[in-house]
Amino acid sequence: MLAKKKNNDIKQGLEKSVCLNGQNITYTVRQSARAKNVRLTVGPGSGLEVVAPVKYNLKNLEPILKSKENWILDKLAHFARLAEERCSSQHQNDRQVLFCGREYLVTVIVLPEVSYRVQVDEERFTVTVPAGREEEVGPVLEHWLRRTARRVILERIEVLNEQLKLPYNRVSIKDQKTRWGSCSRKRNLNFNWRLVMAPLPVIDYVVVHELLHLVEPNHSKRFWSLVEGVCPNYRALRVWLKENGAALNV
């Protein structure tokens, strides 16, 4: 199972602030029974979040945050720029959407008495909607991505499993909130539709990860050795998914 974010054992967040390079930064602290060390994340919308062990002395957080000052400020500035660009593009009737790791402009065409339609070329998605239904552009894009995700992921399973030759049963594309993929005891494979927005090597990594759970249904050293045998750079792809996964959305 490849999880997006584990939060079922995390206590209610506590809002705190710290001064970093002259800037007052507000952040959320969550204490988790599973956490062994302090973990920092910065995401779009969520800002800076700190997960700490339950018994951790929160007075010790400030030195850690100070030591990561440049990384935190760079990440916050990065997501602020993305939000500003997205807002600007939407104001101009153009927004952006990710598809297989590439950013495409989205142009909306409104016509009377027309059916919904999505067309893709080298640079943009063109979404046609009926007059008065402009607010449905997001759901129309999501429907197209969900449907396309099934085709793309099935193709990658077929290509990658030529080498592995592992028998599996059903493949499902789901709207999973906390997982990128999973493999059930019945040998069914499940994947998050948002993966179709990630670069192809990342999609392949998640596919390999779940296929190999058919052999090793845990995250033992043997499992990761099997993953590395098929996907030698899996560690870098895991990092990409961790740092950019929150942005894979319409």
Interval 21-32: pLDDT, tens: 999 999 999 888
Interval 71-128: pLDDT, tens: 999 988 888 877 665 554 444 455 788 999 999 989 888 888 778 889 888 888 988 8
Compute the distance between CA of residue 188 and CA of residue 214 in angstroms, rounded to an integer: 9
Axis-axis angle for helices 200-212, 234-244 (nearest 10):
110
Residue type, 229: G
Compute the distance between CA of residue 154 and CA of residue 42 in angstroms, rounded to an integer: 32
Instruction: Provide the 8-state DSSP code for 10.
Output: B
Residue type, 49: E
pTM of the model: 0.64
pLDDT above 60 for 12 = no
Section 148-173 average pLDDT: 95
Contacts of 221 (CB under 8 A, 6+ apart): none
On average, the pLDDT of the chain sits at 87
**Is the pLDDT higher at 150 or at 1?**
150
Compute the distance between CA of residue 206 and CA of residue 196 in angstroms, rounded to an integer: 11
Interval 125-147: pLDDT, tens: 988 888 888 888 889 999 999 99
Query: What is the pLDDT at residue 247?
Result: 85
Which domains, ranges and CATH numbers included, belong to the chain? Answer: 9-84 (no CATH), 85-143 (no CATH), 152-247 (3.30.2010.10)
Phi and psi, residue 144, nearest 5°: -65, -45
Section 153-162 average pLDDT: 95
